[in-house]
Structures are given as structure tokens and as C-alpha cells.
Amino acid sequence: MTAILYPVAANAELALSQPKARAAREREAAVAMGEAVVFTTDAVGPAFATREAALEAYRGRVEDDRSGFTPAIEDRWCKLVEHVVVEPGRSAPLGPIQPTYQDGRRWPAPPETPPRTVWRLSVSYWRVASAERPLEAPQARQARRARASVDAATLRAIARQPLRPVEPQQPLDIGLFETRLPENPSIVVPDE
């Protein structure tokens, strides 16, 4: 079986240029480094205005549909990602939009110009757990429950981090079409 061999490094720039090792699984990465590792995906490098410019800059690292280039399976740990740029003084539509019900249309017309976007290289790698992170933001639900005012940098970090479960998912103990009896919850019966 062929698997992606992710680089092991302290940050994304080092993963791209000088990885300490490459490993498919967390256990292999931890053994190679001699300490705990965490799987992370970070954006690195400059922002490019067009996808073509980014493909030219990272030729040989990412899949290029123009030339048909595809990296080997073990080297598919980089990809190009499009980011929306919010100009200063202009807010992004974060909330729900109210229907207008005007001129036979239910929703308002979309903006004439789409938001400006940039392309950046996204690197997935095993980060050394003891390595310094730029900004470790709390989860959104924790920040909301704390009702603390959050600065812009922390809010951006919250929006960019992957969702994490509150607790590990428990295995299912009953099937999809089974139910527990109300009078004796230890008995599972088929549900029709």
C-alpha cells in the first residue's frame, strides 16, 4: 500500500525546505523525532493573485492540470488554496442575509464584483509538539462561552483552524434500525 509520506518539522517553512524526516503515520513520525508530534496544515509562502502564477512558482510540487503533472502519491502533501482577502474598512458578510422580496426576486442581487482572492501553498505535515506555534487560538465554542472580547488576529486564527471534537467519538453500540426498549434500556430490539 502506498501512502503519503508527510514531512516532520517544527514549522511549515522547514517542512517545505528541510524536513527532519518523512512519515505516513503519527507513530513513525514520533519515533523519527524522538518526541510527540501533531498533524497540522498551514499556509506558507507569498500570496499570488492568480492560480497560474502560483502554479508556476510551485511547479513540481503541486498537481498542475495545465500540463497534466501529478506528484507521486507519497509526495502529495502540498496543495494550492484560495483565500478571500477582506480589505480594511470593508466588512465581510458573516451573518444571514435578509430576503428582499422585490421585483419578483426573493434575495438581493449578488455583489457586482466578487471578493478579491489570493492563492497560497498549503502544507500538511507532522509538527513537533514542543515547537512554538504562531498563535494557538481557542475553539470558537470556548471563546463564545467565555464571552470575552476577541482581537482580530485571534478571530482569524479561530476561523482558519480545523474543527476539533469536544470529546472522542464513542463507537455505536446499536445499529441504525435498532432501538432500546423504554421499560428495559439494556434490551435492543429491531425497529420497523
Total domains in the fold of the chain: 2
Q: What is the pLDDT of residues 62-91, one digit of tens each?
A: 999 988 899 998 999 999 999 887 666 555
Q: What is the pLDDT of residues 112-122, one digit of tens each?
A: 777 788 999 99
Residue 167 has what pLDDT? Answer: 64
Q: Within this chain, do residues 121 and 31 fall inside the same structural domain, yes or no?
A: yes
Q: Within this chain, do residues 143 and 163 fall inside the same structural domain, yes or no?
A: yes
Tell me if 43 is assigned to some domain.
yes
Of 147 and 5, more confident? 5
* Residue 27, domain extent: 1-91+110-130
Q: What is the pLDDT of residues 160-187, one digit of tens each?
A: 666 666 666 666 677 778 888 889 888 8
Q: Within this chain, do residues 137 and 85 fall inside the same structural domain, yes or no?
A: no
Residues in the chain: 192
Q: Among all chains, which residue has been given the C-alpha cell 512558482?
A: 57
Q: Within this chain, do residues 18 and 35 fall inside the same structural domain, yes or no?
A: yes
Q: Give exposure, 40-58, as e/b (b: 16+ Cβ within 10 Å).
A: bbbbbbeebeeeeebbeeb
Burial class of 34 by CB neighbour count within 10 A (0 to 12, 13 to 18, 19+):
exposed
Q: Is the dihedral of CA 179, 183, 186, 187 positive or negative?
A: negative
Q: Within this chain, do residues 150 and 120 fall inside the same structural domain, yes or no?
A: no
pTM (2 d.p.): 0.60
Q: Within this chain, do residues 122 and 149 fall inside the same structural domain, yes or no?
A: no
Q: Within this chain, do residues 40 and 123 fall inside the same structural domain, yes or no?
A: yes
Q: Within this chain, do residues 118 and 149 fall inside the same structural domain, yes or no?
A: no
Q: Within this chain, do residues 86 and 4 fall inside the same structural domain, yes or no?
A: yes
Residue 191 has what pLDDT? Answer: 81
